[in-house]
Structure 1
């Protein structure tokens, strides 16, 4: 027969309760530590700076600190990518005859008209029998054949392609001398089949627009096509001439008369609807993909559209723009020895130091490109602060649980 000591039993029960409470608190703290981590939205600034020369898809990454010299070089290259720089203004065309053109030929013969007297009409109001007036004869319209030749009565076949109407007039006049009395010839280009511009893309009417001696300019041709079909600020115009392709925002062409160049035969004008965008990541006010106009925006404008930097997280020395850059826009010393991407671009990371007031001015001159990535790293003390916060949460949880299971509660 055994007798239990009530005091001892109560003591053991209290110890079991405290032990259970401690184990529960420890398990909860472990769970909190597992659920809460020191994750980040991207690499730290130091890791990005150390990416110089690192491999990316077979190409070498270059890290470039944005300085006044770098910004000036990029701006100068951007200005050179214009229609005026690439193509020049050019001369009016449409006066050169080509295969497929239709010509209107008229011949005047001085009296007495020996060759065309039977067919011509007086150039004045007198009767056709008046032999004191020159006679005009309109020959049937002639199409220049695939060999560049044209066939005329009493003359036969003669080259026309590559000649201007004035040159062809002289050629016909020379052929008529000796068989016509003091002939004079007029050649007009009735239908231009060889000097055309193709207008395609986001215009109201796609098609071929003939060029005339007037010298049609870019906006003339776009107007003939009915204008652009999309919003002006979201439309870019691309001109393809031979193997050269240059693209400019429509809004810039309208505002800068120098870009309204004269077009040349076989130019291709393409209206492109391009909603450009960049992606903002890291310690910015709003992480998202942001559309911008074809006219472009600066880095300072881009920063404003994502609500700037997060005051509690951002590293003002760790503002970066990731870009697949055209090597021709960079200092040759930066590109030297670097392997390029298959498309000929170079992976470049531009770094801007906003702890220096000059960095704000540099942001205003740095143009964003389509598909750029704007990334702001965390400040060095952010991870320590988050770690301390986690420890505080665990400590308060332990205290709360311990108090909850303590004897007498």
Structure 2
């Protein structure tokens, strides 16, 4: 009778402990596979869950390219002596007549000093009128003045030089050896030569980005592309702002991996396999290789291609599934490109949660039995 009572008490205690554990929930690093799939639009959620294969990789596994705007690449190289608004010019006019048009009587030349180029880019020269100076070289302005005076005085000779003014300058800031404002001179008329003039880059070249701001246009390119693609070495313009900075992209690693952390990109592209390796790989004790997930917000155009739904509107939540145990599963993961702000999550193997449940249950039953024994002893 005592044995039966003991078994009944133990069974009731086990049932109560199991109910308690199931109701309270066990600690775990995140959702399991079933819970993730429940978030699909095909069930009760609002995300598209897609198994990664060659077709999915062709659409989603591409890293967006960076390139300069076409207006940047189509601009020709400027001369280093191009005149700008605000420059001060000195003009000297020579005449071969006694009664000159501009030159005083008894002299053969007159100097028109400190003629300032106005905000519209023009100067005024007596008898020659209003002349466009900005954007021209001193030689071009000289020819214009000579042509204008030739109808009024025989064979005029003109000298012109810039005596003051900023000329053509650019600013270089960020990850370079010497930040500052630099003039566009004959050796520094292109982007790479100007970066070299500023001391070169001081960040890792593989993840260095170069941004050029010109007026209202801003374009960014990888530093390595300046040398891989000669057309990217654009000609500079006065007022350009050049920023060199380290790649700021990152992804988040969670779940049954070697580390759960925010991971900066260490190269221009990183695959799902490389992302997992970066955080120490899959945990050999807990990870489920059939449950590697990548969470991403996909733009409308890509989401439409992936789902085949032509009327999707706006950014869509997409969950990519990587099963490393499938035939070619490792290749699919190797070809899948991780993008900025992705979340890489690895689920735990089912037996891990089961073992955790059993451990919790065993511990609870042990505690219950100890209480029962103590109670029995007290009654005696």
Normalising by the residue count of structure 1, what TM-score does the alignment of the two structures yield? 0.68
Does the aligned pair in 2 maintain the 1:91–1:215 contact within 8 Å? no
Does the aligned pair in 2 maintain the 1:325–1:346 contact within 8 Å? yes
Residue in 1 aligned with 2:271? 298
Against the structure 1 CA distance between its residues 39 and 330, is the aligned structure 2 distance closer, same or farther, given a 3 Å change threshold? Answer: same
Against the structure 1 CA distance between its residues 145 and 322, is the aligned structure 2 distance closer, same or farther, given a 3 Å change threshold? Answer: same
Q: 1:353 aligned to 2:319?
A: no
Q: 1:348 offset after TM fit, Å?
A: 3.3
Residue in 2 aligned with 1:92? 77
Residue in 2 aligned with 1:270? 243
Q: 1:366 offset after TM fit, Å?
A: 3.3
Q: 1:45 aligned to 2:30?
A: no
Q: Structure 2 regions of 5+ residues with no counterpart?
A: none
Q: Indicate which of 146, 163, 178 corresponds to 2:151.
A: 178
Q: 1:369 aligned to 2:335?
A: no
Does the aligned pair in 1 maintain the 2:206–2:268 contact within 8 Å? yes
1:114-193 to 2 correspondences below 5 Å: 115=100, 139-163=112-136, 165=138, 167-185=140-158, 187-188=160-161, 193=166
Residue in 1 aligned with 2:67? 82
CA deviations 1:338-392 (Å, max 9, x no partner) are 454xxxx544333323223434334334333333211112345544454455556
CA deviations 1:45-80 (Å, max 9, x no partner) are 3443443449xxxx964444433344344565623x
Q: Report the Cα distance in structure 2 between the residues aligned to 1:336 and 1:207, rounded to whole angstroms.
A: 50
Q: Report the Cα distance in structure 2 between the residues aligned to 1:332 and 1:191, rounded to whole angstroms.
A: 59
Q: 1:22 offset after TM fit, Å?
A: 8.3
Q: 1:66 aligned to 2:52?
A: yes
Q: Report the Cα distance in structure 2 between the residues aligned to 1:297 and 1:179, rounded to whole angstroms.
A: 71
Against the structure 1 CA distance between its residues 117 and 42, is the aligned structure 2 distance closer, same or farther, given a 3 Å change threshold? Answer: closer
Q: Structure 1 regions of 5+ residues with no counterpart?
A: 1-13, 120-128, 130-134
Q: Report the Cα distance in structure 2 between the residues aligned to 1:317 and 1:203, rounded to whole angstroms.
A: 45
Q: Report the Cα distance in structure 2 between the residues aligned to 1:60 and 1:398, rounded to whole angstroms.
A: 44
1:297-336 to 2 correspondences below 5 Å: 297-327=270-300, 332=305, 334=307, 336=310
Secondary structure of residue in 1 paired with 2:297: strand
Against the structure 1 CA distance between its residues 144 and 62, is the aligned structure 2 distance closer, same or farther, given a 3 Å change threshold? Answer: farther
Q: Report the Cα distance in structure 1 between the residues aligned to 2:139 and 2:301, rounded to whole angstroms.
A: 45
Q: Report the more deviating stretch, 374-383 or 253-262.
A: 253-262
Against the structure 1 CA distance between its residues 402 and 333, is the aligned structure 2 distance closer, same or farther, given a 3 Å change threshold? Answer: closer
Q: Indicate which of 193, 197, 200 corresponds to 1:220.
A: 193
Q: 1:283 offset after TM fit, Å?
A: 1.9
Name which one, 1 or 2, has greater alpha-carbon Rg. Answer: 1
Normalising by the residue count of structure 2, what TM-score does the alignment of the two structures yield? 0.73
Does the aligned pair in 2 maintain the 1:115–1:179 contact within 8 Å? no
Q: Report the Cα distance in structure 2 between the residues aligned to 1:294 and 1:142, rounded to whole angstroms.
A: 53
Q: 1:181 offset after TM fit, Å?
A: 2.8
Q: Report the Cα distance in structure 1 between the residues aligned to 2:351 and 2:98, rounded to whole angstroms.
A: 103
Q: Report the Cα distance in structure 1 between the residues aligned to 2:132 and 2:70, rounded to whole angstroms.
A: 36
Q: Report the more deviating stretch, 288-297 or 172-181.
A: 288-297
Does the aligned pair in 2 maintain the 1:276–1:293 contact within 8 Å? no
Against the structure 1 CA distance between its residues 170 and 84, is the aligned structure 2 distance closer, same or farther, given a 3 Å change threshold? Answer: same
Secondary structure of residue in 1 paired with 2:113: coil
Q: 1:144 offset after TM fit, Å?
A: 0.6
Q: Report the Cα distance in structure 2 between the residues aligned to 1:62 and 1:194, rounded to whole angstroms.
A: 56
Q: Report the Cα distance in structure 2 between the residues aligned to 1:146 and 1:91, rounded to whole angstroms.
A: 24
Against the structure 1 CA distance between its residues 277 and 168, is the aligned structure 2 distance closer, same or farther, given a 3 Å change threshold? Answer: same
Residue in 1 aligned with 2:253? 280
Q: 1:312 offset after TM fit, Å?
A: 4.3
Against the structure 1 CA distance between its residues 142 and 347, is the aligned structure 2 distance closer, same or farther, given a 3 Å change threshold? Answer: farther
Against the structure 1 CA distance between its residues 251 and 178, is the aligned structure 2 distance closer, same or farther, given a 3 Å change threshold? Answer: closer
Q: Report the Cα distance in structure 1 between the residues aligned to 2:110 and 2:326, rounded to whole angstroms.
A: 82
